[in-house]
Structure 1
Amino acid sequence: MVPERWRHHLDYLVTILGGSIGSGSLIKFPYLCMRNGGGVFLIPFLFFTVMGAIPCVFLEMVIGQYSQSGPVNVWNFCPPFKGIGLGIALVNWIFVSYYLAIFSWFMYYFYHSFFSNLPWTSCGHSWNTPGCIDGIDSSGWNYTSTNDTQLMSSLDTNMTNVTLTVPTMTAAEEFWRFQALQVTHGLEDLGVVRWPLVGCMAPICVIMFLFVFRGIRISGKVVYVTVAVPILLVIVFIVQGSLLPGSAAGIYFFVNPNFEKLLNPKMWIEACSSSLFSLNIGLGNILTMSGHNRKTNNCLRDALLVSIVDVLFIILAGFSFFATIGHVAHQRGVPVDAFRSSGFNLAFIAYPQVLSYLPLPQVWSVLTFLTLMTLEVDTLLPAVEVILAAIEDTFQGARKRRWVIICLILLTNFLFALLCVTQGGVYLVTLTDWYAFFPAIAVFGMLECVLVSWCYGLERLKQDIDAMWGKAVPRVMMLSIKYVCPLLLLAIFCSSVYSHRPPKYGDYIYPAWAAGVGWMISSVSIVPLPMVFVWTVLNTRGTTLKQKLRVSLQPNNQWRRHALSDTANCHALQPMQLVQSGECGPDDLEQETN
């Protein structure tokens, strides 16, 4: 069946870009720069983007476009590994589920940004405690603990010093914990559902259903808005932020490299991971969206364009962040590098505090959370498309009941997300985010490079490329796919395993059983890989297990039909070539997989 086509090629590029930039560009990247010496982090980041990220993006575009299918059937070139496509779909399902909760938090703050007095800037509200601190406390930038204490009074009675202390939090932290979340004491007590957050979450589910149901011809137009708005607002932040007193110090911290940090191996690992996964390598977005291209499309041009624009946006987001931080640091009399918040603390505590010190704070707060919401939509829509494409690949006839499938996907996502918007939902979101992508994404990306390079063969890949748009690919690109990319992904995997530690949120230490639940979440996306591998090999024609394995690793009939359609008028593909060169392949190519 011919897949749905993009109305315009720009729709495809903007969709890929929207899925790549995400809210992490405004939350995670500035934190990594701050922790790793500012501008020096850009050096390894750009290095790994060129050496690893661009080749991986190019590879996913090529095999997705050539297969003209979704994340499951793209593995027709090596059928035993179709479980990777199912695993990718499960990762995306988990991702959509808990990101719906995060979207509801953004919308909740967006709604409260219209109040004449921003509720996170002052104490005296019903949710505030006696230890609430108005505004920003200069000692409270590093949110590594939520139970800091402040000396309230010291009395000298009968020659005995008595010190009284009470827990203190800033007004922004108390709004986040006691009003937005109404947080419980731990994962053991999820509490009740926060219905205001459910009300923030429900509309986006309805909107996603309408966009995905109408297909890429509609969703491909929506991303023009959801991508253009964040880019324009980030530019506005840069221009306005640069005009504020003290912004130069923040920008200088961002562009001035501390070369001593280059001696830290951890920074290189973080830069490698950030560069590869900022472009959604291994998540199936690029594979699935490229399947809707015409086969004559130039993937090399697209990979370079998307990667360059993604890097430019991340750098622009860094400038906007550090310009604003420089101004606030100037006002408070603290150094720029005192800002070390990350994750939820950065998005829902540090950002609101910083925005409250800008002129017209309501305007800046509205723009900031509008940007974060649109970036969330950019990442959620392709993820739902990946899940839908995987189901359509697996079950024949699913396209005839497309609207039913989309309803079931979003309904199950919404039901799981209800757990994430309970009073203790932030603990579940943290646990899920901690394990959802580890180690699946690194494993999937590594296998993708290895199977195409070493099993399918680069010579065959070059012939496929020549059959599609007829231009040679630089040799360095092929060498990166074969050697550099797998090694980088292997390094990320090994580093993740070595540095892995139990999850933690603030001062809350997760119980041992929670780690078990986390590993179950992690293994869900890995389990289909060995199961499908064994099932495919055992059901392949052959008299011995070795023969079954050799035959199963060859492209199946569906993939060969693509090859035949491309070589009807020329002999571009030569199936015996890899057998003659000694790479994996059966002795008799007439034996086919089921």
Structure 2
Amino acid sequence: MNDVDTTPLDEKRGMFSSRRVFILAAIGSAVGLGNIWRFPYVAYENGGGAFVLPYLVALLTAGIPFLLLDYALGHRNRGSAPLSFARQHRATEGLGWWQVGICFMIAVYYAAVLAWAARYTIFAVTEAWGDDPAGFFIGEFLRVGDTTISTEIVMGVALPLALVWIALLVVLSLGVQKGIGATAVVFIPILLLTFGALVVQALLLPGAAQGLNTLFTPNWEALTHPGVWAAAYGQIFFSLSIGFGIMITYSSYVRRKTDMPGSGLVIGFSNSGFELLAGIGVFAALGFMAQASGVAVTEVASGGIGLAFIAFPAIISEAPLGVLLGVLFFGSLVLAGFTSLVSVIEVVISAVRDKFEMTRVGATVAVSVPAAVLSLLFFSTTSGLHVLDILDNFINKFGILAVAVVSMVVMAWLVRALDPLAAHLNLHTSVHIGLWWKVLVAAVAPLALSYVLVLEFRDAVRTPYGDGDYPAWMIGTFGWGAALAVLVFGLVATLVPWRTGTSLTSPGEVDRASTTGEEVR
């Protein structure tokens, strides 16, 4: 292998200055809103303390192996998701563009939730939601209308949403190290301190032990249910930011001699550690709420948007030092959400830069401005919550999950890429990638995730999403239509030629040849 760590092309695309910065950026991507408001409720519903067992099994047999697949693709091929797939095998470029389409969709609505969290950080100071957090969130703040598409702008959402996109534009224009890396270096330590303080305060609340007992009391009988194991694989998959181009993109910015398998273990366990911390903090607070209301924890437990913007404000209103608790909670959502949103939109920017002859600033503007316009048009209106709810459900389940299963099957069985990818990971690591990894990526992980996908598809067909609250045309347009649109985009984008001078030969071939003495194909 060459003694020089970076090539002129690497320098032009941008690089993380060190392995530490890469790890912080990857943790920033993985640790997002879902860790805080999804994991605790999923664990509670699927066996409580017993859920830790299938969760760890899923992490070791699917989460980390798939994470390493993403790292191998990006680090070996030194490109965005589409270019990395194309360099691995010409026929697989469409998988990368499928992922790019998914990330664009996610960025458009994820920014809206981040804007809500920013406003609620301010609301927490005065407890602006009063005695009715649900009514305030739905009625006064979002001013949610009926299930039709509205053009009525809610300025209380539009202004912070515009500020989110301006902040994104600035950070991403600064580049890989000065923008993405520097943001992660600052935000992740602050997030850990902020959320750690939140957990400590939550544990000191009356009734906290009752909440923790509800979360961690094991229901061992639940382990006999296939759905519990499916929930564990689904949670690990969604929480690690794998399968939709983020980790491929970030690993392409890492120096060539970096230990990628070792980095993957650090990132995987750090993400899971934060999820367990979130479970402790959230259920300690729910235990307080249950005791204050004179009901069981099971009656106040919830997940998702309802937990963040309805249940937690109710807790804040009743809790000692509630203002501090609220600022810590919603501030953590902002920090976690922003680093994740940066990673999502960077997937699109990196792909555009690789495909066309564009500067970092030009590509950032070309991607962020249309995304911001769509975000404001759809999610700052009185119908924004409805569209977001449907889009988030279908893009996650039938976008991310589907492309992950397809990419594993294609890489393992159709183009036979696992051997060269494993060889690349083994160039600089103390964690040997061998037969165990290939079996997990080629068989265990795709089978487990396929089962999750089949269950989700069956449920979606049997019972329309929203239990009849949404008209069929909305589910067809923003649900099934959006999931199909990103797939079609992936196929069509491959027809656009790469910019002049783009090599579709993997730099990893050169690296391995210079190390082993083999002739480059």
Moved more, 315-324 or 335-344: 335-344
Task: Report whether the alignment pairs 1:441 with 2:365.
Answer: no
- Which of 74, 79, 82 lines up with 2:90 in the alignment? 79
Q: How many Å apart are 1:503 and its aligned residue?
A: 5.5
Corresponding residue of 1:462: 422
1:424–1:460 Cα change, 3 Å: closer
SS at match of 2:319: coil
Q: How many Å apart are 1:571 and its aligned residue?
A: 3.0
Task: Report whether the alignment pairs 1:480 with 2:490.
Answer: no
Q: Provide the aligned C-alpha RMSD in A.
A: 2.3
- Which of 177, 201, 205 lines up with 1:244 in the alignment? 205
Deviation string 1:50-81 (CA, Å, 9 cap, x unpaired) is: 11101011111112101111111101111111
Aligned pairs for 1:420-569 within 5 A: 420-454=379-413, 455-467=415-427, 472-501=432-461, 504=465, 509-517=469-477, 518-531=479-492, 558-560=504-506, 562-568=508-514
SS at match of 2:397: coil
Corresponding residue of 1:348: 309
Moved more, 229-238 or 102-111: 229-238
SS at match of 1:398: coil
Corresponding residue of 1:588: none
Aligned pairs for 1:367-382 within 5 A: 367-382=328-343
Q: How many Å apart are 1:474 and its aligned residue?
A: 4.2
Q: How many Å apart are 1:389 and its aligned residue?
A: 0.7
Q: How many Å apart are 1:390 and its aligned residue?
A: 0.9
Corresponding residue of 1:542: none
CA contact (8 A) 1:105 1:180 kept: no
SS at match of 2:81: coil
- Give % identity: 23
SS at match of 1:286: helix
Task: Report whether the alignment pairs 1:96 with 2:102.
Answer: no
Q: How many Å apart are 1:530 and its aligned residue?
A: 4.5
Q: Which amino acid aligns with 1:204?
A: V
Corresponding residue of 1:68: 78
In structure 2, what is the Cα distance between the partners aligned to 1:573 and 1:204?
A: 49
Corresponding residue of 1:391: 352
Q: How many Å apart are 1:508 and its aligned residue?
A: 6.3
CA contact (8 A) 1:70 1:389 kept: yes
Q: Which amino acid aligns with 2:141?
A: A
Q: How many Å apart are 1:421 and its aligned residue?
A: 1.2
In structure 1, what is the Cα distance between the partners aligned to 2:145 and 2:199?
A: 38
- Which of 380, 393, 409 lines up with 2:367 in the alignment? 409
Corresponding residue of 1:305: 266
CA contact (8 A) 2:262 2:431 kept: no
In structure 2, what is the Cα distance between the partners aligned to 1:470 and 1:258?
A: 38
1:257–1:470 Cα change, 3 Å: closer
Corresponding residue of 1:232: 193
Q: How many Å apart are 1:504 and its aligned residue?
A: 4.7
SS at match of 2:60: helix
Q: Which amino acid aligns with 2:129?
A: W
In structure 2, what is the Cα distance between the partners aligned to 1:12 and 1:179?
A: 41
1:470–1:528 Cα change, 3 Å: farther
Deviation string 1:435-468 (CA, Å, 9 cap, x unpaired) is: 2233222232223322332323433333333445
Corresponding residue of 2:162: 202
Deviation string 1:522-559 (CA, Å, 9 cap, x unpaired) is: 111111445567x69xx9xxxxxxxxxxxxxxxx9632
Corresponding residue of 1:173: 134
Deviation string 1:355-375 (CA, Å, 9 cap, x unpaired) is: 211112122111111111111
Higher strand proportion (structure 1 or 2):
1
Deviation string 1:211-240 (CA, Å, 9 cap, x unpaired) is: 111111122021123222332222222222
SS at match of 1:422: coil
Higher helix proportion (structure 1 or 2):
2
In structure 1, what is the Cα distance between the partners aligned to 2:129 and 2:57?
A: 40
Q: Which amino acid aligns with 1:9?
A: R
In structure 2, what is the Cα distance between the partners aligned to 1:44 and 1:573?
A: 44
In structure 2, what is the Cα distance between the partners aligned to 1:437 and 1:200?
A: 25
Corresponding residue of 1:108: 119
1:362–1:565 Cα change, 3 Å: closer
Corresponding residue of 1:26: 36
In structure 2, what is the Cα distance between the partners aligned to 1:560 and 1:379?
A: 28
Unaligned runs of 5+ in 2: 1-8
1:307–1:203 Cα change, 3 Å: same
Deviation string 1:178-230 (CA, Å, 9 cap, x unpaired) is: 110111122x1525101121111112211111111111112202112322233
CA contact (8 A) 1:84 1:528 kept: no
CA contact (8 A) 2:261 2:429 kept: no
Deviation string 1:317-367 (CA, Å, 9 cap, x unpaired) is: 101111111122222221122223232222111111112111121221111
1:250–1:81 Cα change, 3 Å: same
CA contact (8 A) 2:98 2:491 kept: no
CA contact (8 A) 2:379 2:387 kept: yes
Corresponding residue of 1:48: 58
- Which of 251, 254, 270 lines up with 2:231 in the alignment? 270
Q: Which amino acid aligns with 1:571?
A: G
CA contact (8 A) 1:464 1:572 kept: no
In structure 1, what is the Cα distance between the partners aligned to 2:473 and 2:336?
A: 34
Corresponding residue of 2:4: none
CA contact (8 A) 1:17 1:310 kept: yes
Aligned pairs for 1:322-333 within 5 A: 322-333=283-294
1:339–1:33 Cα change, 3 Å: farther
In structure 1, what is the Cα distance between the partners aligned to 2:79 and 2:149?
A: 44
1:220–1:121 Cα change, 3 Å: same
Q: Which amino acid aligns with 2:362?
A: V
Corresponding residue of 1:256: 217
In structure 1, what is the Cα distance between the partners aligned to 2:281 and 2:296?
A: 17
Deviation string 1:489-525 (CA, Å, 9 cap, x unpaired) is: 22222122112156655x7621121122022211111
1:10–1:493 Cα change, 3 Å: same
Corresponding residue of 1:292: 253
Deviation string 1:103-126 (CA, Å, 9 cap, x unpaired) is: 1211221222222xx23232xxxx
* TM-score normalised by length of structure 2: 0.91
Moved more, 470-479 or 23-32: 470-479
In structure 1, what is the Cα distance between the partners aligned to 2:242 and 2:73?
A: 13
1:74–1:367 Cα change, 3 Å: same
1:106–1:216 Cα change, 3 Å: same
Corresponding residue of 1:584: none
Larger radius of gyration: 1
In structure 1, what is the Cα distance between the partners aligned to 2:431 and 2:213?
A: 43
In structure 1, what is the Cα distance between the partners aligned to 2:57 and 2:458?
A: 23
1:7–1:503 Cα change, 3 Å: farther
In structure 2, what is the Cα distance between the partners aligned to 1:192 and 1:560?
A: 50
